[in-house]
Amino acid sequence: MEDGRVVSGYAMGHIGETGGELCFNTSMTGYQEIMTDPSYHGQLMMMTYSHIGNYGASDEDMEALKPMIAGLIVRSFTYRYSNQLADESLEAFMRKHELVGLTGVDTRTLVRHIRAKGVMNAVISSVDLNDESLVEKARYWPSMEGLELASRVTTEKAYDFCEGTAKRIAVYDFGVKLNILRSFRARNCTVRVFPSATPLSTVLDWNPDGVFFSNGPGDPRVMPQAIETVKQAVQTDIPLFGICLGHQLMALSQGLDVYKMYVGHRGANHPVKNLGTGHVEVTTQNHGFAVQQESVTDEIAEVSHRNLNDQTVEGLRFKTFKGMSVQFHPEASPGPHDSHYLFDEFLNMLEGYAPAMHQNGKGDSYSLVK
């Protein structure tokens, strides 16, 4: 680690060397969805749950075409899995994708260290075993702060994800998770995904009913082109929706401030209060940046959701245009389905939208499946 701490364990997956910002995820399951989430691009992922690999790996659990994390660190790695739906072991999956890992590590001690010292860069190596050399590499690894990464994970060209009979949703891909696209498909939408640098005029030529700004990795403050695109989209009368990085970009476009968190939120068990309904939702989260509370003014937006662990801003409803955004991940995958209703709320902004899903007695949509 860049602060000089060295931890030894056993190599798993690909034999090699990798590095990045060391972060941790508190989910008890869903390791493959976490590993393939584009928002984790370039980060070392440490799982707090002890046993990883128990149910192998499956093509059905991918959130992108390949793993996005830089490396994996676990307490106890399971080489033999028990799951009739799995396609292969997690070890085989990691070797196939040349993903470096480390097991036999006291992850709880490391998590406490990060929470006390703040997130920092680290290096995993199964080829260079010199402590001083690895610490030096960690210290010179590029910092996540000030790093633009969305361009590395966005689609190279626009593509149609699905065709439905409801509304047309244009998706700006800054690192979009597949389950976000599936969530729109489940609501019978037509979805076209555009590269992150696509001019708004090109998107408008497709005649969308709504524009969605996706999640993704990196520092939103160094994405002037994306912020300008959001500003232009605000000038139209088209409803806008942003998740995670998209939420931060929408905030920045309206003059709100975003800051780098001391320790990010990553897991599938974070309590968030919906300030409109008073309900508390258990949410999936993955972010290292957040909107500065003090910059939110009544003229621009109102806070719609708040994190109950540290009171950070988790959602915004904008006052001067049809727009909503949330910091957490309502599509889950992995995680609970408490917040799926947000996709319906966005689509309800689109005049004439009729939900193509069954409703329960409380007016909430039933949980989606992949």
Last residue of a domain, one of 117, 139, 161: 139
Q: With beta carbons less than 8 A apart as the criterion, state whether 342 and 326 touch.
A: yes
309 plus 214 within the same structural domain:
yes
Instruction: Judge whether 331 counts as a catalytic residue.
Output: yes
Report the pLDDT value the prediction gives residue 259, as an integer from 0 to 100: 97
Residue 367 has pLDDT above 50, yes or no: no
In a domain, 44, yes or no: yes
Q: Tell me if residue 352 falls in helix, strand or coil.
A: coil
Q: Supply the range of the domain harboring residue 181.
A: 150-349
Cα separations in angstroms, 56 against 10, 46, 74, 256, 344: 19, 18, 15, 43, 33
pLDDT at 358 over 50: no
- Residue 282's pLDDT band (boundaries 50, 70, 90)? very high
Same domain, 20 and 119: yes
Under the banding of pLDDT at 50, 70 and 90, the label for residue 364 is very low
For strand 76-77 and strand 51-52, is the pairing parallel, antiparallel, or unpaired? parallel
- Domain-embedded: residue 362: no
Q: Are residues 283 and 314 in the same domain?
A: yes
Residue 366 lies in a domain: no
Helices and strands, number each (H, E), in the chain: 10, 18
190 plus 50 within the same structural domain: no
Residue 370 lies in a domain: no
Confidence of residue 33 (pLDDT cuts 50, 70, 90): very high
Nearest 10 degrees: Cα torsion 69, 73, 78, 79:
70
Whether 160 and 243 share a structural domain: yes
Q: 295-333, pLDDT tens digit by residue?
A: 999 999 999 999 999 999 999 999 999 999 999 999 999
- 23 tagged catalytic: no
Residue 60 lies in a domain: yes
Note the pLDDT of residue 354.
Answer: 54
Query: Does residue 133 sit in the same domain as residue 171?
Result: no
Catalytic residue among 63, 91, 281, 331: 331
Percent of the residues in the chain that have a pLDDT greater than 70, as a whole number: 95
The span from the CA of 234 to the CA of 254, in Å, is: 9
Residue 76 has pLDDT above 60, yes or no: yes
Please say which residue of 100, 115, 139 terminates a domain.
139
356 in a structural domain: no
Is 265 or 364 the better-scoring residue by pLDDT? 265
- Structure confidence by residue, pLDDT tens digits, 223-280: 999 999 999 999 998 999 999 999 999 999 999 999 999 999 999 999 999 999 999 9
* Residue 57's pLDDT band (cuts 50, 70, 90): very high
CA distances, 179 to each of 64, 105, 116, 315, 337 (Å): 10, 31, 33, 20, 12
Round to whole Å and give the CA distance between 250 and 243.
Answer: 9
Check: CB of residue 107 under 8 Å from CB of residue 73. yes
Determine if residue 332 is left, alpha or beta; phi over 0 gives left, psi from -120 to 50 gives alpha, anything else beta: left
- Alpha-carbon distance 361 to 133, whole Å? 61
Please give the biggest Cα pair distance in the chain: 64
Contact present, 273 and 287 (Cβ < 8 Å): no
Q: What percent of the chain has pLDDT over 90?
A: 93
Please pick, among 14, 265, 329, 340, the residue that the annotation labels catalytic: 329
Residue with tokens 């005649």: 207
pLDDT score at 31: 97
Q: Are 172 and 101 in a shared domain? A: no
Q: What is the model's pTM?
A: 0.93
Whether 243 is covered by a domain: the verdict is: yes
Q: Is the pLDDT of residue 363 over 70?
A: no
Active site residue 244: yes
Q: Which of 244, 270, 281, 305 is catalytic?
A: 244
CATH number at residue 83: 3.50.30.20
Q: Which pLDDT value is given to residue 351?
A: 77
Whether 198 and 87 share a structural domain: no
Mean pLDDT, the chain, as a whole number?
93
17 and 85 belong to one structural domain? yes
DSSP bridge pairs for 289? 260
